[in-house]
Amino acid sequence: MTERIYTACVLIIGNEILSGRTEDVNLNHIALEVGKQGVRVREARVIPDVEDVIVDAVNAARANFDYVFTTGGIGPTHDDITADCVAKAFGVPLVINEEIARRIRARPTAPEVMESRMRMARIPAGATLIDNITGGPQGFKKGNVYVMAGIPSVMRAMLSTVRLQGGALVRSRSVTAYLGESEVATGLTAIQNRYPNIDLGSYPFMREDRYGTTLVMRGTDPAQLEAMLAEVKQLIVNAGETPHDVE
């Protein structure tokens, strides 16, 4: 029996991440949150506010992954072109969504400002809304593409309302050793080969001038995870070290 794996791609849209001005924090949150629903992020792309690039990225991602999550580019200014690009990717027109428009009109303002805000009511034909529990304009879902804000607090508010069909939950166990990776590399290869369904990663670090590595096991079968963790801990002991921070 092969278990169905549900995959996702995250598209982070915004020049400011690529220029180094802003550090992205949305990928990490999305990965953790969709993971809790049994969906695995398999790729992320950071792309600029350029129409052709966004359209191509949306089309590639929606064909290759079960879910696509975009962040950024759905505000009221000239550089907010995500909705336009998603519509173009799907070959449908943009339409005014009355539910978003009502929410925007509920906050009176000057006509010129209102006109800019109403840009946020435009969604691709056939899209449905992703609620925005902060009270601002909603995001939307078209096909398997979930379009969300770039501001982290607003993105999180939107994602918290999204329910996905996912597969078995990926669980993880981990253990840290203050050893060079090479000191356990051969043993890790042998253990990985014995547990083909569990992904064993070795993540080296330097902390207060000490090298170490965190060994992370990820998979869906709790019993296999426990057995593998026991083997990895024993490997660390055999290398003369103590297993730390078992989680």
- Residue pair 5/40 in contact (Cβ under 8 Å)? The answer is yes
Which residue in the set 2, 63, 108, 112 belongs to the binding site for its own copies (CB under 8 A)? 112
How near is the Cβ of 117 to its own copies at its closest, in Å?
A: 4
Q: Could you tell me the CA-to-CA distances from 65 to 8, 117, 190 in Å, in that order?
A: 5, 32, 31
Cα–Cα dist 191/174, whole Å = 14
Which residue in the set 13, 27, 127, 217 belongs to the binding site for its own copies (CB under 8 A)? 27
- Residue pair 73/80 in contact (Cβ under 8 Å)? The answer is yes
The reply to whether 202 sits near its own copies by the rule CB under 8 A is yes
Cα–Cα dist 18/35, whole Å = 26
The reply to whether 189 sits near its own copies by the rule CB under 8 A is yes
Which residue in the set 129, 144, 171, 183 belongs to the binding site for its own copies (CB under 8 A)? 183
**DSSP 8-state symbol, 78:** T
> With respect to its own copies, which residue has the nearer C-beta, 78 or 163?
78
* Coil, helix or strand at residue 240: coil
- Residue pair 57/47 in contact (Cβ under 8 Å)? The answer is yes
How near is the Cβ of 17 to its own copies at its closest, in Å?
A: 7
How far the first Cα of the chain sits from its last, in Å, is 29
The reply to whether 168 sits near its own copies by the rule CB under 8 A is no
* Coil, helix or strand at residue 241: coil
The reply to whether 218 sits near its own copies by the rule CB under 8 A is yes
The reply to whether 205 sits near its own copies by the rule CB under 8 A is yes
Among the residue ranges 32-40, 88-96, 139-147, 228-236, the one whose residues contact its own copies (CB under 8 A)? 32-40
The reply to whether 18 sits near its own copies by the rule CB under 8 A is yes
Give the strand pairing for 67-71 and 139-142: unpaired
Q: Give the interface with its own copies as residue ranges (CB under 8 A).
A: 14-25, 27-32, 35, 40-49, 53, 75-80, 109, 112-117, 119, 150-151, 153-154, 170, 172, 180-186, 188-189, 192, 199-206, 216, 218
